[in-house]
Amino acid sequence: MSLEERELEVLIGPQHPASGHMRMIAKIDGDIVVELRPNIGYVHRSVEKLAEAKKFLQIIPLVERPSLADTTANNLAYVMALEKLLGLEAPPRAQYLRTLLAEINRIHSHLYGLGIHGVMIGSSTAYMWCFGDREPFIELAQELTGARLSYSYIIPGGVRRELPSRFTEKVEKALRYMENRMKDYFNLYLNNPVTRARLEGVGVLSKEDAIRLGVAGPNLRASGVPYDVRKVEPYAAYPDIDFDIITEKVGDAFARVMVRVKEIQESIRIIRQVLKKMPEGPILHEKYIKAISPKMREYMKETGEVKFPGIFANLRIPAGEAISRVEGGRGEVIFHIISDGKMSPYRMRMVTPSFRNVILFEHLNRGVRVADIPAIYGSLDYFPPEADR
């Protein structure tokens, strides 16, 4: 029999536990994948087009929706682009609060990714643990912002709320809990021979290929490229904070998982520093505070909740162009905003890490076994709504 005749085309997804909201079209020969093509667009909701019809402030919740498990990154990147165009910077306390939320979000976003990965390689324990341990951090974020996942916490010129009372203690409690849990993760999941056998040496991405394909986030760092926007172009409070870029050398599925796990530990370190160094001061740019009525200013002082100044409703952004980037849980989020001085952007380009990692499906799944597809997929922490936008 010739090779062509033995090849079989298999459609995996979109209704499949190992596919999420996408379809993979695999050509297989026996148990070996000859070629795999991602068929995306199942969650394309046209964020870029809708943004052109919404006002600048209304876009904040819109850009959060594509990556619901990691909303702070999108929120922050978008607002940073606006701030670049407005030519203002948030006061230091607001920057620290942003960092705090971003790191809390990073932890629960990584746990989300690890949990989904657990489902994909058939380890229910990992799923249950990760999703259970995600909750304390979601709760922290909820206390800070008022929402479980879609925070919309960061606004042009500052943040929306003050730190709640006794927040530091609660954070410390959650961090200590997570640190203890980390040991269990290593013992029962990461050093588990079954996990290792499924992940080690699977889906190896070499450093050269990672660079060539423009991969983003932990997937890039797992291949040994120490690129992290927080260090390369520091934003928010990161310039004052001491942390390491986590890298691995091997670039296989296990390395990608390890980077996430170690980044959780690193985030714990960052959060402690942020809370210790948090400066006093306003949480909104003085230009906007002045625009709030005195009565509302009183209210703000009492409750720590920012009341939006009237100009926010019809916020006009000066004409121009701005590019901002932020290191989110899944990687680098890029906003390229072109404004023509009106109340909505002329063009908003949003490039999410998942979209940049789509290319890996084709690249990594060549010549692997069919059972490795979910292991590779899961290790990429790919979130289809984020890729399709």
The interface partner of residue 210, options being another protein, ligand SF4, none and the CB cut-off 5 to 8 Å by kind, is another protein
68 binds ligand SF4 (CB under 6 A): yes
Contact region with another protein (CB under 8 A), list: 59-67, 95-103, 160-168, 255-263: 59-67
Q: Which is nearer to ligand SF4, 68 or 250 (CB)?
A: 68
Per the CB < 8 A criterion, the answer to whether 389 and 350 are in contact is: yes
| Smallest gap from residue 131 Cβ to ligand SF4 (A) | 17
Q: For residue 19, count other CB atoms closer than 10 A to its CB.
A: 21
Side chain identity, residue 54 = K
Between residues 121 and 163, which has the closer beta carbon with respect to another protein? 121
DSSP one-letter string for 284-318: B-HHHHHTS-HHHHHHHHHH-BPPPPGGGTT----
Strands (DSSP E) found in the chain: 7-12, 23-29, 32-39, 154-155, 158-159, 320-327, 332-339, 347-351
Q: Of the two residues 66 and 331, which places its CB atom closer to ligand SF4 in the complex?
A: 66
Cβ of residue 45: shortest distance to ligand SF4, in angstroms? 8
CA angle 100, 265, 381 (to 5 degrees): 85
Binding mask 205-224 for another protein (x = CB under 8 A): -----xxxxx-----x----
Q: Which is nearer to ligand SF4, 252 or 386 (CB)?
A: 386
The rounded distance, in Å, linking the Cα atoms of 128 and 139 is 17
Number of residues that bind ligand SF4 (CB under 6 A): 2
Q: Which residues pair with 335 in a beta bridge?
A: 324, 350
Cα-Cα-Cα-Cα dihedral sign, residues 68, 70, 72, 78: negative
Say whether residue 21 binds another protein (CB under 8 A). yes
Q: Which is nearer to another protein, 289 or 357 (CB)?
A: 357
274: phi then psi, degrees, rounded to nearest 5: -60, -45
What residues pair up with 323 in beta bridges, in sequence order? Answer: 336
Residue in 8, 197, 232, 319 binding another protein, rule: CB under 8 A: 232
Q: How far is the CB of 67 from ligand SF4 (least distance, A)?
A: 10
SS3 content of the chain, % helix, strand, coil (to 5): 50, 15, 35
Spell out, one character per residue from 310 to 349, where the chain touches another protein: x when CB under 8 A holds, - when not.
-------------x-x------x-x-x-x-------xx-x
How many CA atoms lie within 13 Å of 120's alpha carbon, on the beta-carbon side?
26
- Does the protein bind ligand SF4 through residue 65 (CB under 6 A)? yes
Least distance in angstroms from the C-beta of 160 to ligand SF4: 19
Neighbouring-strand partners of residue 333: 326
Q: Name the strand (E) or helix (H) holding 124.
A: helix 124-145
Q: What is the DSSP string of 167-208?
A: HHHHHHHHHHHHHHHHHHIIIIIIT-HHHHHHHTTSS---HH
Enumerate residues 230-259 that contact ligand SF4 by CB under 6 A.
none
- d(CA 161, CA 354) in angstroms, rounded, equals 30
Identity of the residue, 67 or 339, whose beta carbon is nearer to ligand SF4 in the bound complex: 67
| Residue 315 sits in the site that holds ligand SF4 (CB under 6 A) | no
Binding of another protein by 8 (CB under 8 A): no
Q: Name which of ligand SF4, another protein, none residue 227 binds, using a CB cut-off of 5 to 8 Å depending on partner kind.
A: another protein
Shortest approach of ligand SF4 to residue 62 CB, angstroms?
9
The answer to whether 251 contacts another protein (rule: CB under 8 A) is no
Q: Which residues contact 209 (CB under 8 A, 6 or more apart)?
A: 223, 363
Q: Which is nearer to ligand SF4, 27 or 65 (CB)?
A: 65
Residues that bind another protein (CB under 8 A): 14-17, 20-21, 40-46, 48-50, 53, 61-62, 65-69, 112, 115-116, 127-128, 131-132, 134-135, 138, 148-150, 210-214, 220, 225-227, 232-233, 323, 325, 332, 334, 336, 338, 346-347, 349, 351, 355-356, 358-359, 385, 388
Residues that bind ligand SF4 (CB under 6 A): 65, 68
